A = this chain, B = another copy of it.
Amino acid sequence: MMETAAQEFTILVTNDDGIFAPGIRNLVEAIKDLGRVVVVAPDKPQSGMGHAITIGFPLRLNKVPQWMDGVEAWSCSGTPVDCVKLAVDKILHRKPDICLSGINHGANHSINVIYSGTMSAALEASIESIPSVGFSLLDYSVEADFSGAKIFARRIVEQLIRHKELDRHLCLNVNIPAVDASLIQGIKVCRQAYAKYEEEFHERNDPHGRKYYWLTGEFLNFDEGDDTDVWALKNNFVSVVPVQFDLTHYALKKTLESTIQW
């Protein structure tokens, strides 16, 4: 009688820059010997998509042949969060052992976590009790040097494999400074800095004289703490912020209960 083989350790990889971005390729290169790697990523850039899901349109999945030796890869017409949902239901037919997202081209520290498709994919996995990590390099360039990021991404994934039972909803927001690996001071567990963007839309006129607006913004950090991700990155540490999907503001809940007679 045949015994059922133990399930292979399965790593789902996604991102928000799209399946043909260098960042996701570098991430897979860094960790591909640690298990069976399945890539399910958007077929086009999806930066800034936050936790968007596709409700009003159906989704497509297409196998991407020869994406990388020994790696099964699929492109998806939806958002990063759609990719995670579809991968579990229609490709893996089970939950992967871990979900990795990135490596994003550009920072996702502090308030960026809210807008980031990279981090929303990771957070979606954690809702499903799949431990997850989103990786971002502080370099927007398509020609960014991922060599330092690869070393630290691998180190973090190895640590999580070693400490499997930390938290069933574990989700880490990892940002890596854009400096040579030799200059990185180490890994620092942080809280999310309080920062925001000061918007300034650029107003233009189309050839028909009608106005349109481009979103731009200046990043403003209001948080002087030395326990934040912004501080860590400024000081050449890799920042690791554990994130959660319970948005309840418990302190404010108490205040509301004691202050207002509804």
Contacts and interface: CB of A to CB of B under 8 A. Distances in A.
A249 B243 contact: yes
Contacts of A242: 248-249, 252-253, 256
A53 B246 CA distance: 22
Contacts of A204: 58
Interface residues of A, number: 79
Interface string A107-135: 00001011100001001000110000000
A113 B247 contact: yes
Q: Is the interface of A mostly helix, strand, loop or mixed?
A: mixed
Contacts of A166: 252, 255-256, 259
A259 B189 contact: no
Contacts of A240: 256, 262
Contacts of A82: 215
The 7 lowest CB-CB distance pairs between A and B, nearest first, are A50-B51, A187-B262, A244-B249, A242-B252, A58-B212, A50-B50, A242-B249
